[in-house]
Structure 1
Amino acid sequence: MKMQWIAIRFATLLGFGLMMTAPIPALAQTSVVYHIDDAQVQGLKGLRNIRNHLDVAPDTKITVVTHANGVDILMDGGKDLKSNVDYGPLVGALKSRGVRFEVCEITLKNRNLKKEQFTLDADFTPSGVVRIADLQFKNNFAYIRP
């Protein structure tokens, strides 16, 4: 019985020893999806959050998915109604830093909008909520809703 206990203990220690000598995988790049569905509530705050995020962690992969009234931040001439700040330059600056901006095509249909009404910085996705779910589940993106 004592020999079995010694063998089990040795095997356990050997296993831990092998784990400690195994190479540690490189840290993966952080990927984040920002969810914006109301430009007036989230627009400026979200764009500033993204800027701050990249200032601190510039290698972060960021995708912004917009739907419902959130798509307004990507429309040509879109402005924050309270401050009259134009979203375009803020979006353009973030796009130049690698941020991807996506517009829900279901929203286009529901609001009778055309792709031509959006800045060149906008990409399109068939469904904003499906895209967010896929980024989170399939691609391990962290989720942020400003």
Structure 2
Amino acid sequence: MIKKILALVISLGVLGFASAAFAADPVPRVVYHINDSEHQALGGLRNIRNQLDTAPNTKIVVVAHALGVDFLMSNYKDAAKVDPLISALAARGVDFEVCEITLKNRKLKKDDFIMEANFTPSGVVRITQLQNQGYAYLKP
């Protein structure tokens, strides 16, 4: 009986320590999911800017796949609107990740993208990984 009580106390202590460590994390983390550049990119970039203006220590990763990768391409039709925001946000530490499955399916090359674009093997897998690491999920 004493062993069971001791095991319970130790388990609760470990759980309490883990919870306190997670709650004490001073850096908020957010993943923005973009899968439609035309309808999500500009608004999403503005949301990210506003978030960093209010909470400048936030760690933000933008994951783009499907039609959401277009705003990170060098020939994007609205580049004049989004490129200055992307550059400014990248300078503030925002990571922009492009799904390589999308590249393969759409026959795109990494050279088609602006310099701020990074690449990840799978956009949806990356979003899942980030959520499992405590990132909040936002979809503009």
The yes-or-no answer on 1:116 pairing with 2:108 is no
The residue that corresponds to 1:141 in the other structure is: 135
Which amino acid in structure 2 is aligned with residue 44 of structure 1?
Answer: L
**Distance in 2, Cα, partners of 1:96 & 1:55:** 13
Q: Secondary structure at the match of 1:64?
A: strand
Q: Does 1:96 align with 2:91?
A: yes
Alignment-derived partner of residue 75 in structure 1: 73
Note the residue ranges of structure 1 that are not aligned, 5 or more in a row: 1-18
Opposite residue 61 of structure 2, the aligned amino acid is T
Cα distance in 2 between the residues matched to 1:57 and 1:86:
24
- Are the counterparts in 2 of residues 78 and 88 from structure 1 also a CA contact under 8 Å? no
- Counterparts of 1:94 and 1:77 in 2: how far apart (Å)? 19
What is the CA distance between 1:85 and its match in structure 2?
A: 4.1
Partner of 1:44: 42
The one-letter amino acid of 2:44's match is G
Higher helix content, 1 or 2: 2
Show structure 1 runs of 4+ deviating over 3 A: 24-27
Aligned counterpart, 2:29: 31
Deviation at 1:59, TM superposition (A): 0.2
Asked whether the 8 Å contact 2:42–2:81 carries over to 1, the reply is no
Post-superposition CA distance 1:95-144 (Å, at most 9, x none) = 0000000000000001000000001100000000000011001x110000
Q: CA-atom RMSD, angstroms?
A: 1.7
Report the CA distance shift for 1:104/1:132 in structure 2 as closer, same or farther (over 3 A): same
**Cα-to-partner distance string for 1:55-92 (whole Å, 9 max, x where unaligned):** 00000000000000100111013233xxx743221111
How far apart are the structure 2 equivalents of 1:51 and 1:77? Answer: 23
- Alignment gaps of 5+ in structure 2: 1-15
Percent identity over the alignment is: 59
- Secondary structure class of the residue paired with 1:68: strand
